[in-house]
Chain A
Amino acid sequence: MAELLQFVFSGLTVGAIYALVALGFTLIYNASDIINFAQGEFVMLGGMTTVFVALAGVPLPLAALIAVIVTTAVGFALHRFAIDPARGASPVAGIMITIGASVFLRGLAQIVFDKRFHSLPPLFGSDPIQIGGAAILPQSFVVLGGAAIIVVLLRLLVDRTMLGKAVIATAANRLAARLIGVNTRHIVDFSFAVSAAIGAIAGILVTPITLTSYDVGTLLALKGFAAAMLGGIGSAPGAVIGGLLIGMTEALSAGYLSSNYKDAVAFLIILVVLVAMPHGLLGRVKVERV
């Protein structure tokens, strides 16, 4: 029993990380139909910038704030200077630009930062909490909490603010949104900036568990993307559920089946779910009208 609980805790820890990364894909997709492959690099920038600014002597909370601001600026710049100029192109061109951006940011990070691994101190200490014979780190709860708060904030944004309504309008029909006076370019700028901020916060919260380095973004983006799709792209709660599901599958497979194939089992489950539910778990079913 304690064993199962330990596996569940591991699944929650890893799943929360994926969930937090997956949330970053949601907003950009909602506003512009683009899958941002540079999202992993936003996570990396959050963690690495904090580490390096702190190494320069700045107190940690301020370093974290600076990191979020810097990453937000990068996200904004990515849209304004790279994606917006290619506005009329097919979505695939947009995705390719984000892939180019991810390579660019990774290459830049190697020069500006370094190629080693770094860590950040956990928020509430590193002593594990004992529950039912299994041990979980406090930071895991921090990550879960962070994901939950972001989901709530995104919901509030969409439901309660004009800005959020404008995002939904832009996503539904860009031309129509422009016709009613929404500055769609600013809206998509905004969504990139916010997604970058979410990525940076994710990076800062997960680094105490995952450690960070200039290429931590690649694998996280992959799993985060898969989680977002599993949950139904565009749905924030879906992203969280997708992330937790993948994390749990990995942990339980590692524990009970074979640690070699835990990733394979997770992806097999994703394939099975998608074949059965082609719009993901909570995705909006798009009705194609002719």
Chain B
Amino acid sequence: MSVRALLQSRWLPALAVTAIVVLLPLLFPSMYYYRVAALVFIFALAVVGLNLLMGFAGQVSLGHAGFLGIGAYAVAIGPVHFGLPSWLCLLAGAAISGAVAFMVGRPILRLKGHYLAVATLGFGLLVAIVLTNEAGWTGGPDGMNVPTLALFGWRARGSSTWYWIAGLTFVVGFLLARNLMESPTGRALQAIHDSEIAACVLGINVASKKLTIFIISAVYASVAGSYLALFNGLVTPDVAGFLRSIELVAMVVLGGMGSIFGSLVGAVVLVVLPQGLTIFHEYEQALLGLIVMVFMIFLRRGIVPSLAASFAGWRK
């Protein structure tokens, strides 16, 4: 296959992402880098899900960290209080998140725009409040320990192990998302994003499609949350907090709404940048805010779409 054909094939994004995951460790001088990269992939997974909801279906969610929290605490409460194996709790967490998304989504997805934002905000806060208060189950504000994931005697510990787990899961999630977007459901969602009424007229079941994508994005977030908890060995209610939800939204918007690849870039920026900004000490927060503003002013469609558009224009 010629280089040109490769560059234009549909498999390029998949290959690119797999290449990144496989080749990146060659650049890592220490475990610290593995840890940061593992965190990037974990968040990127949640961001892909949120991007499906926000970028493709056009529904704002300011409480998505709530699902992160459900997944994270599922792998904590299950093993500690019920003695269940971690992998089962991970799946259970995803199932519970999906179920909660179904129950919460039915009523609130009828809301539009900022009203939906507030409703999802309320949902996220409710999850965080329950996690903080039910100390008997959740360990309260200081959180609880999460037993290590063990499968047939092999224990998943250490930054490099989790790098591979997170990275490969991200590749799978990435492929699934792209697949979804190119399927009839994906096209229906884009139609809904453009105009709900027109989509309705075309015979698309708007409510059901929106609910489907809400559930899918909840499951993505739940798996990411479970990974986060298992990796850290510790979980606190912050994982479901308002600031965490805003962080996820920022990753979606910065990377590029509607760009699955952008999800990865958004996660990279918001996980890696604070690490790099530590040299500025006192000014770290102010600089972070400034950088976010600058990115949005100059790359207003998000990093990946804006850069890609300017490169494509440049070529001509």
Pair A106/B107 contact, Cβ less than 8 Å: no
Pair B112/A88 contact, Cβ less than 8 Å: no
Q: B268 in the interface, Cβ–Cβ < 8 Å?
A: no
Set B122, B123, B282, B293: member contacting A111, Cβ < 8 A: B282
Query: In the complex the two chains form, what is the Cα distance from A216 to B37 in whole Å?
Result: 33
Residues of A with C-beta under 8 A to B283: 107, 111
Query: In the complex the two chains form, what is the Cα distance from A90 to B130 in whole Å?
Result: 34
Interface residues of A (CB under 8 A from B): 29, 35, 82, 85-86, 88-90, 92-93, 96-97, 99-108, 110-111, 218, 222, 225-226, 229-230, 233, 260-261, 263-264, 267-268, 270-271, 274-275, 278-280, 288, 290
Pair A275/B110 contact, Cβ less than 8 Å: yes
Which B-chain residue is minimally distant from A84 (CB atoms)?
Answer: B297
The 19 sampled A-B contact pairs (Cβ below 8 Å) are A82-B293, A85-B297, A89-B300, A90-B257, A93-B296, A96-B253, A97-B292, A100-B289, A103-B285, A104-B293, A105-B289, A107-B284, A108-B286, A226-B121, A229-B117, A263-B125, A264-B125, A264-B126, A268-B122
Pair A274/B289 contact, Cβ less than 8 Å: no
* Secondary structure call for the B interface: helix
Residues of A with C-beta under 8 A to B187: none
* Secondary structure call for the A interface: helix
Additional A-B contact list (10), CB under 8 Å, known A104-B289, A111-B286:
A82-B293, A89-B301, A96-B249, A97-B297, A101-B293, A104-B285, A107-B289, A226-B118, A271-B122, A274-B115
Set B118, B243, B292: member contacting A100, Cβ < 8 A: B292
Which B-chain residue is minimally distant from A104 (CB atoms)?
Answer: B289
* Chain B interface bracket (under 10, 10 to 19, 20 to 34, 35 or more): 35 or more
Please report which residues of chain B, range 225-262, place their CB below 8 angstroms from some CB of chain A when the two chains form the complex. Answer: 242-243, 246, 249-250, 253-254, 257
Q: B165 in the interface, Cβ–Cβ < 8 Å?
A: no
User: Most chain-A CB neighbours within 10 Å: which of B111, B125, B289, B295?
Assistant: B289
Q: B310 in the interface, Cβ–Cβ < 8 Å?
A: no
Query: In the complex the two chains form, what is the Cα distance from A6 to B271 in whole Å?
Result: 47
